[in-house]
Amino acid sequence: MRKKKETGIEDVLAALKYTWRHRQGFNFKGKRYLDNHIPGLVLDVFDNLAYEQKDGQKPVIAAKRRTVHGWHLVINLPPGVSFKQIRTHKDFFQDAVNGWVELEWKHGKCHMNIQLGELPEYIEYRWQPPINMVLPIPIGFSRTDLITLDLPDSPHLLIAGATGFGKTSLLMSIIHSLLDKALVIVIDLKGIDFAYLEGYCLVAQSADEALAVLRALNQEYERRKPILRKYKARRWQDCPEDLPYIVVVVDELAEMDKPCFEIFDRLVRLARATGISMIGASQRTSTQIIPGDTRSNFVARLCFKVGSDADSRVVLGEDCNLAGQLPAVKGRAIYRYGINTMEVQSMYLSPNKAEELLALTKPQRRWNIEPVREPQAKRLKAK
């Protein structure tokens, strides 16, 4: 009888503890007080994953505060629990809070940023470039705001994903955001999606034209190097001479032959300081198309829905399989910049609207690129 009474008391205490941990709080004069539901879910995950150590210590939330879009938690980790362990279980925290979780290690503590809310499934193209960036391009909307990349900070961008999930629309958005700010070159070996840009920027649609363009860019890179040395400038932004920024957009890396890819790879490795950016896109996510050495030079990467976790790792890195788990929503992607990863919804720019936008754009200076002719293989007989 006594044991039953003790068990009943323990159950009541456990129920009270759970209720207090997950208290919803109340609103007063526009502010919410004593709300602890989301931090309580995070503590539940720690408990259910058996993070408690032999001495009884377990992760503790040392500080918490509400943010505009969710929560910011500071977590003390006991001896025996590493930050790497927490990162490997990131998916459990995201599923528990039904949001996006970002983890960071600062000042000996684990910082967890939680973004609540759902991503929209469709966002029409609208672009107002930030005034504090040199060459901004739109990436997509997170749960908080529009994510924008300033190209000089990360000169190269890798885009991948299955057919029909938004690569072409994103490339169009990027190109139209740059037409009045940089020299844009499009290598479109499929010769379908970007033909409408002829007359507004250079469009290479054959293997010979692509090779000629890449060779010309390689020569431009060699020309710019001594100019930067002359002024002792380590970056394009620090050079006083007028060197136009060049952005090369390659649609479908898999269509590039070996001579083209070798020059492309060299420019990705070396040309970043001279004001030349490379944006490469591919629907074939394999190490043969995107070798590891080439991929490592892309600090910024974006991957739409892919068929498997392995395909996601090829693009985003060995520790990121999130693109293989995305819902089948057009425009939904995983964006990775350095070690920071987030889910975004890219804007949709239809081909008709893209052509309408050209009416507001001035044509760029034309580049005269001669087709490359193969050298004669056989020597003529002497007379």
Other Cβ atoms closer than 10 A to 375: 5
Predicted confidence (pLDDT) per residue in 222-269, tens digit? 999 999 999 988 888 888 888 889 999 999 898 999 999 999 999 999
136-358 is classed CATH 3.40.50.880 = no
Least confident of 35-44, 256-265, 360-369: 360-369
Predicted confidence (pLDDT) per residue in 58-74, tens digit? 999 999 998 878 899 99
pLDDT value at residue 380: 47
The residues near 35 (Cβ < 8 Å, ≥ 6 apart) are 23, 24, 25, 66
Predicted confidence (pLDDT) per residue in 155-205, tens digit? 899 999 998 899 999 999 999 999 988 999 999 988 888 989 988 889 999
Predicted confidence (pLDDT) per residue in 96-154, tens digit? 998 889 888 988 899 999 988 788 889 999 998 898 898 999 999 988 889 999 998 88
pLDDT value at residue 32: 67
Q: Are strands 246-251 and 109-116 parallel, antiparallel or unpaired?
A: unpaired
pLDDT value at residue 361: 77
Q: Is the fold of 2-116 the same as that of 136-358?
A: no
- Residue with the bigger pLDDT between 382 and 121: it is 121
Q: What top-level class would CATH report for the domain 2-116?
A: alpha beta
Residue 6's H or E segment, with its range, is helix 2-21
Q: What residue ranges do the domains of the chain occupy? A: 2-116, 136-358
- Over residues 47-62, the mean pLDDT reads 91
Predicted confidence (pLDDT) per residue in 265-300, tens digit? 999 999 988 999 999 999 887 888 888 788 888 999
In the chain, the DSSP E strands lie at: 26-28, 31-33, 60-66, 70-76, 99-106, 109-116, 136-141, 146-150, 157-160, 183-188, 202-204, 246-251, 276-282, 300-304, 332-337, 340-345
- Residue with the bigger pLDDT between 357 and 359: it is 357
Distance CA 53, CA 195 (A): 62
Least confident of 92-106, 239-253, 300-314, 351-365: 351-365
Q: Are strands 26-28 and 31-33 parallel, antiparallel or unpaired?
A: antiparallel
pLDDT value at residue 67: 85
pLDDT-derived band at 79, boundaries 50, 70, 90:
very high
The residues near 148 (Cβ < 8 Å, ≥ 6 apart) are 129, 130, 133, 136, 137, 138, 139
Q: Are 74 and 63 a contacting pair, CB within 8 Å?
A: yes
Q: Is 0.75 topped by the overall pTM?
A: yes
Instruction: Please name the residue ranges forming H helices in 199-350.
Output: 207-230, 258-270, 292-295, 309-316
